[in-house]
Each structure stands twice: as structure tokens, then as C-alpha cells.
Structure 1
Amino acid sequence: MEGNESLNNAMQERGLTQVELADAVNSRLICAGHDGTVGDRTIRNWLTGKTRWPHPRQRAALEAVFGYTAEELGFNPPARRRRPATEPELPVRRRNFLSATTGTAATVVPFVGAPPQVGTSDVLRLRSGLDALMQLDDTRGGHESLERAALAGAAEALEKQKLGATQRIRLRLFSIAADYTATAAWSALDARQADRAQALLGRALYLAGMAQDPVAEMRVWNSYAMVAHQRGEHTETVDAGLAAHATSITKRDPLFASLAHARMAIGHSSLGDRPAALRSLGHAQEALGKAAQDDPRPSWMAFYGPAEVTAMTAIVRDRIGDSAGAEAASHNALGAIPKQFRRNRALATTRLALAQLHQRDIDQACTTASAAFGLMAGSPLPGRMRSLLGDFYRDLITLAPDAGVAREWGDRYRAAWSRT
């Protein structure tokens, strides 16, 4: 059985591992409204030649990843399905991304003189693709293929916007484009690509303004606060939290107000302002108590609730020197964060390890930090996760440079947490 050298070369050219290619294909399947069922075994079957002609949906998604036809990627259709040599093939590079992921091509000739109309069904389809990307982020975290898929969704929403049947539809499409762009920015942020995230957030804020959408604006300011925190610009973290709180949605829905206060609490704690941090944390908890948990909200807010407030409380407590309080909050958060938020559970686990380490419980801290790798098994660590584990290791060798368990932990996990 001959291996598929063309596919292997394309993967090498893009720098994609089998896991990363599976994620990239699944992102496109999910955007098209299908289940993301491609795994390592699927990729191996493609590479070894065991599968010579993938399923149509997988084939279209694979073509969208690389910008080449399946044949150019080394696959061979059954003879009965080959097209006549005289039939032209549309270049894959010129196909619209989301059209390509459906596995279909436009074959209907429009009625001359009748402009295409875009309506509610287009809005719902694009919105469902956005929700699917957020589900992928919950499990895997931010990564390049998710960012590309989000930007492709934003591009299609803006193209559809030009053809919107009504002003209301056009505004909704601007809103969706803002959310897709903010999702791409979030993916860059989670990968700790702060410059790219900030550039995308600027674009998302413009689109949210065009959409007249305060929820999208609030989302952007929330992400701005996180970018500033990554850069160590803690005054800007507080300012972005204030901007998030100033959006009109926080007046209508206390859950959004709670998130804005929690971001400010982290900024104040990083500045060493204990009273302000605890005050903002209290406002976050008070607003959360007023929020109706079952009200309909966008999918990007699904992560936020009592469990996330508790996880953010752990960060604030550790920053202001209350490591015991941080440990208790981390335990409570891990008992409440839903299982599907795998990345968030891994982050909370690492925060727990840091709180234990700062109390000089070296052995337990190393055991806890090791569990974070198990939670993310099968997926590369997002940049934000790698950075937090790096913080743990730096504190570990500072507080216990001669401890055997510290050296063992570093030897075992250094390659995993430092891999870029």
C-alpha cells in the first residue's frame, strides 16, 4: 500500500501535525454544520493510503484547509466517479471558504436582473457556525485553524451584508461579523499572540459599532482587558474593564456587569491595590447574584457564571497574598466548572497548583500541576496555558531550587509546557 506523499508534503509545508490537521478539518466541518469527527486514525489512514478517497464532507473541508483539490493532495476517486477530461474544475483557491466546507458548488444560474437576497436563514446559519467554533474553543482552546475559520466566517458575513434584504438583516450580519472577528481575536489571545489579538479587536470594535451591538462591544472590551493583562499593562486592564462596564448591556443584564467588575478586580490585584480588588470582586459577586442564569445569551458568554467568578476570585486572592483563600477558591471552582470547559478546568488546576506552591506545599503543588497536562491530553497546550505553567515552574525553582521533586517535575514536563 503506497503512502500519500502529496498530503504528507502539504502538511510539512504548512507545519501541521496529524493532531493539528484533524483540528483544522474539524473546524471547517463544524462551521458547515456537521459533526467534527476526524481524529488521528483518520489522518493516518489518509497518509498511509488506506483511505484513497475521503468522505465528501471531509474532502471539501480538507480542500479548504490547504487550498488544493483532493486529487492535488494525492487522493484518487473511484474510476466510476471521475469527471470527463473536458469538464472544467473550479480552482479551489477561488472558492468561498464556507461554501467549500459544505461540499457543494454553485450550479444554479440566477435569474438575470434579480439580485440575490440575504435573509434570516443566512443569519441563523452563520450564527450556528459561530456557536460551533465556541464549542471547539471550550475543549481545545485557541489555535491557528480556529482563528482562520473565524476570519472566514467574518468575511462571508460581510459579503452577505452587502446583499441584505433589509436594514435589520444588514445590522445582524455586521453583528455576526463582529463576533466572528472577536472569536479570531480571542483565539490569538489564548495563543498569547497579543499584537495580533489587539489588531483583530480593533476591527471587531469597528464592526460592533456598525452593528450598533452593545453585547459585541462589551465582548471586545472584555478581551481588551485580557490583552492588557497579558502585556502587564494593569492600569489599562482596569480601564478596559471600565469601558466594558460602560456598555449599555451591563445595565440590562447584571451577568455582563459582573464580568466587567471581575476583570477590574484582576487589574487592581495585579497593581497591588488590595482594597480596590476586593471591592470590585464584591461588585462582581453582587451583580452575579442578581443575574438570571437561564436568560438567553450569546455562546461566548457560556463560560461565565458562579464557577468562573470563583476561578477569578482565586486569581485575585493569590495576587493580593491570600494564597490559602486562593486555594479554597480554586477547589470550589474545579467542583463547579462544567466538564466540557476542558481548557478552563486545566487553567483552574494550574492556579490551584500555584496557590499550593505559594504556601510552600511543594509536593502537592507539583502533583496538582501535573494533572493539568492530563486534562489537556490529546491537544497541544494553548499559549496562555503554557505561559501559566511557565509561571508555576519559575516560582517552583525560586521557592524550592534544591527540592528533588522540583527537578523531577521540570525534567518531566519542561518540553511539554515550553513547546511553541
Structure 2
Amino acid sequence: MGEVTRNTALEAWMNQHGYSSNSLAEAVNLAVERLTGRTGGLDGSSIRDWKAGRVKWPKSATRRALEDVSGLPATALGFVPRGRTRITPTSPQEYSDTMKRRSLVGGIAAAAAAAVPGTASPRRVGMSDVDRLQQRFAEIIARDHRHGGQRGLEQQAVALADEALNLQNAGSATQRVRSSLYAAAAAFRSSAMWAAIDGRRYDEAKAHMREAQALAEMSGDQAIKFRIWSHAGTMYRHMGRPADALAANDVARSTHITRRDPMFASLGLARQAAIQGVAQDRSGTRRAFEQAQEAMLRADPDAYRPVWMLAFYDQAELDSLALSAYLSLGDYQTAEYHAHRCLSALRPHMARSRAIATTRLAHAQLGQGDAEAATVTAMKVSTDAATQHARVSRMLQEFGAALRATASGSPVVQTWTEHAAAWRTIA
């Protein structure tokens, strides 16, 4: 067996772009699916084999998918083709600098060619370009529901927003196409914003919010404007600023789409109720949730809605927001009721939402004095969510602190401590 040399180039690239072994495996699996129509079979251990140098040259489809995700050739990421000896690879930063120089030279050449009449005909940008971006947006949404909060997802969404904006200058287009491109860019920026919120990177989230709001105004798309301001309300709620959260959510609720589609009205009301829970407004919380439920029941299930809305907002999400609100109010029995409703109705792809609801259920059970049941519940949270998702990790840390404070000396404290220690070794 040949010498095994650690792949430091891949490790450096992953650290630079915020990828864990699990999140990179997920990103490459999605890219494999785009290329071949079949889901990739990588997991975190596969990526650890790459980093350890045990896999020197991945299979062709996997290698191509990794190149699509990273924007770099496999050799720049430290991989060595079979039959060749390892050489010092071009670092990702060196490769990036080289590509920037090539892009600059290419751009100058293209500009010079365009300046000469008759040398080239302008490209026509059409709805097929928009459709391609919308497919990539659906992939971003799917990845968010599996993991959420990852810096790599945030960066990918920003890159796709830039791609949508670059198409504005790539050739001629109708006004409909230009508006759709601005809407696509706003959608990607709003996903970057949400990833930053979910990862508790609030300064970055606010920067994405400002970009997304400007793009949404240029697009005239009411649905994406609703999404951005609704995300802003959630961001301020997580930051413990309910007055700002209500103001932002009110902007979302004032968009025309909430009057056209009761499902949007329902989401706006449900998020208002969650904010009122943080503000300790018990009657306002209850009233807003009743209105949110009524609006959802009025909504036409067959109406056209954007992919981001279809992917997450349903009865399970409404109960998830109720769980959050009643937990904030200290009404642990009602919170537990909504937790069980949420978990029983969650769709299989909602991995991140399941981890959050399970953690909140544990808090609700502990709040009622049932430390043993709460510990059993908290231990059901997946290792991936517990170690890779900032919001879940924070809530589990808070659970451990509350458990030690309320059940000091109990065997369940030792059980939880050992379980949490195992997570830390994996992370």
C-alpha cells in the first residue's frame, strides 16, 4: 500500500468556506444528483477519508460534482490522478487568483470585441435562464431544510444571487425577464440571510437583508418581499428585540399578497404570535394563533405559491411557531401539546425543523419537572444537528444548564453529560 498523505489542500478549502464533513457530503450528493439523476452516496466519513488521504482520486461523477461545488479542479483540492505521484498542489487561493487574472484578460478581450461593430451578436437572455436559476433555488431550499445555518450554504446562495445579477448585463432581455432575474437574486439573498440567521450570524444576516430588500423592490415581486421582511421579523425575534420584530413582520403582513392568498396571511399571523410570545403578550399570542389557523383553513390548497412557501409552511410549521411562543411564555403544557402536533405532522425532508422541535419539546417537558422524559427526548436529536447547527447546539446547551439547575444530583444529569460529551468528540 502506498504512503498515505493528509490532504491539507482540501482541508484548507473546507475551512475557508465553512464546510464540515457532513455539509460537504450533502452538497456533493446534490451535485451528483444534478449530474446523473441519482442521489450521491457520500456521508461525513467519506469526506474524512478524503481529508486523511485514504482516497486519492474520487470516482468520476463524484469528482465532477465536487468540482461543481468548489469551482476548482480536483487537483487544486489536493487529489492526485491514479498512476501519478503526489506533487505540491496549487492552493485554492492561488488557483482563485489565477482564475481572476484569466477572467480579467477574458473580460478585456470580450469588451474589445464588443466595441468593434459586427464582431459579435449580443446574447439573448430569456426565461430558460430564469428557469435554471429557479431550479438552483429549489436545491438551496432543499439543502436548507436538511441542515440549515451552514456558512457554505450562505456563500453558495450569495454566489447564485451574483450569477442572477450578472445575467442582467449578459445580453438583451424583456422587462419580464429582467424583473424575474431581480426576483431570483433577491430570493437567493434572502436564503443567504436565513442561513446567517439560522447560524446566529446576525451582522451578516442584516447585510444580506439590505441587499435582498433593494433587489426585491426592483423586481416588484410581492412574495419575495414578504419573505425578506418576514425573515427580518424572525431575526429580531431571535435577537430578543420584539418591538423591531413586530415592526418588520408588519411590513411583511402589509404586502398585497397577504390579501390575495390567506396562506401568506396565515404565516404572517403565526410569526406575529411567536413574536408576541417573546414580548410576553399572552392574549395577543393566543388571538394571533387563532387567526393564523383560520386563515390557513381558508387557503386554497391548489393555489400557485413559490417553492420556498410550499417547502415549509403547513400545519406542522404553524404548530412549531406555537411551540416557540408558548415556551417563551412559560406555558409548558401548551408548548408540549403543540410540539407533539408538530412532530407528528412534519414532512420527512424537514430534518432541521425536527431537531428544533425535538429540542423545544425537551425544554417543555423539563419545565414541567419531568427531567427523565426531557433527557430522553433531548437525546433523540441527531448528532448532525447537535454538532453542526448553531441554533440547535445553543438550545441543547441551554437545556443542559437547566437540567443541572433543576435536577442536580439526579442520575439523568450524568446520563446527559456523557451523551453531550460524545457529541463534542464527534464535532
Q: Give the TM-score band, short-chain normalised.
A: 0.7 to 0.9
Match of 1:242 among 229, 232, 250: 250
Shift of 1:44: 5.3
CA distance, structure 2, for counterparts of residue 92 and residue 27 of structure 1: 23
Counterpart of 1:102 in structure 2 is: none
Change (3 A) 1:287 1:74: same
Range 356-365 or range 15-24, more displaced: 15-24
Letter in 1 for 2:21: Q
Letter in 2 for 1:222: S
Match of 2:21 among 11, 18, 22: 18
CA distance, structure 2, for counterparts of residue 202 and residue 8 of structure 1: 37
Match of 2:366 among 357, 362, 375: 357
Paired-residue identity, %: 34
CA distance, structure 2, for counterparts of residue 151 and residue 33 of structure 1: 25
Q: Is 2:402 aligned against 1:395? A: yes
Q: Is 2:58 aligned against 1:54? A: yes
**Residue segments in structure 2 that go unaligned for 5+ positions in a row:** 85-94, 101-112
CA distance, structure 2, for counterparts of residue 365 and residue 146 of structure 1: 32
Change (3 A) 1:158 1:371: same
CA distance, structure 2, for counterparts of residue 218 and residue 418 of structure 1: 41
Letter in 1 for 2:355: A
CA distance, structure 2, for counterparts of residue 167 and residue 34 of structure 1: 34
2:124–2:172 Cα contact (<8 Å) kept: yes
Change (3 A) 1:160 1:31: farther
Counterpart of 1:105 in structure 2 is: none
1:386–1:417 Cα contact (<8 Å) kept: no
1:4–1:74 Cα contact (<8 Å) kept: no
Q: Is 2:346 aligned against 1:337? A: yes
Shift of 1:387: 1.7
Change (3 A) 1:33 1:119: farther
Shift of 1:143: 0.6
- Aligned pairs for 1:191-270 (under 5 A) are 191-270=199-278
SS in 1 for 2:312: coil
Range 335-344 or range 404-413, more displaced: 404-413
2:154–2:192 Cα contact (<8 Å) kept: yes
> Per-residue CA shift, 1:50-104, capped at 9, x if unaligned?
6554345533443455564322334344689xxxxxxxxxx666669xxxxxxxx
- Aligned pairs for 1:367-406 (under 5 A) are 367-373=376-382, 376=384, 380-406=387-413
Shift of 1:20: 3.9
Normalised by the size of structure 1, how large is the TM-score? 0.85
Counterpart of 2:307 in structure 1 is: 299
- Number of positions where the alignment pairs a residue of Structure 1 with one of Structure 2: 398
Shift of 1:285: 1.0
- Aligned pairs for 1:131-170 (under 5 A) are 131-162=138-169, 163-170=171-178
CA distance, structure 1, for counterparts of residue 226 and residue 400 of structure 2: 34
Counterpart of 1:100 in structure 2 is: none
> Per-residue CA shift, 1:365-388, capped at 9, x if unaligned?
1111111136x47x8431111122
Shift of 1:30: 6.3
Change (3 A) 1:311 1:45: closer
CA distance, structure 2, for counterparts of residue 370 and residue 357 of structure 1: 13
Match of 2:77 among 55, 63, 73: 73
> Per-residue CA shift, 1:228-270, capped at 9, x if unaligned?
0121101112112211101111111111111111111111111
Q: Is 2:320 aligned against 1:320? A: no
CA distance, structure 1, for counterparts of residue 425 and residue 245 of structure 2: 26
CA distance, structure 1, for counterparts of residue 271 and residue 44 of structure 2: 38
CA distance, structure 2, for counterparts of residue 201 and residue 33 of structure 1: 35
2:189–2:211 Cα contact (<8 Å) kept: yes
Counterpart of 2:105 in structure 1 is: none
Letter in 1 for 2:306: P
**Residue segments in structure 1 that go unaligned for 5+ positions in a row:** 81-90, 97-108
Match of 1:114 among 99, 117, 121: 121
Normalised by the size of structure 2, how large is the TM-score? 0.83
> Per-residue CA shift, 1:311-330, capped at 9, x if unaligned?
21122223233211111111
Change (3 A) 1:361 1:182: same
CA distance, structure 2, for counterparts of residue 35 and residue 148 of structure 1: 25
2:336–2:365 Cα contact (<8 Å) kept: yes
Change (3 A) 1:270 1:414: farther
> Per-residue CA shift, 1:121-144, capped at 9, x if unaligned?
111111001101111111122212
1:18–1:43 Cα contact (<8 Å) kept: yes
CA distance, structure 2, for counterparts of residue 412 and residue 30 of structure 1: 35
CA distance, structure 2, for counterparts of residue 33 and residue 161 of structure 1: 30
SS in 2 for 1:129: helix
Please provide the CA RMSD for this pair: 3.1
Letter in 1 for 2:137: L
SS in 1 for 2:277: helix
Shift of 1:395: 2.3
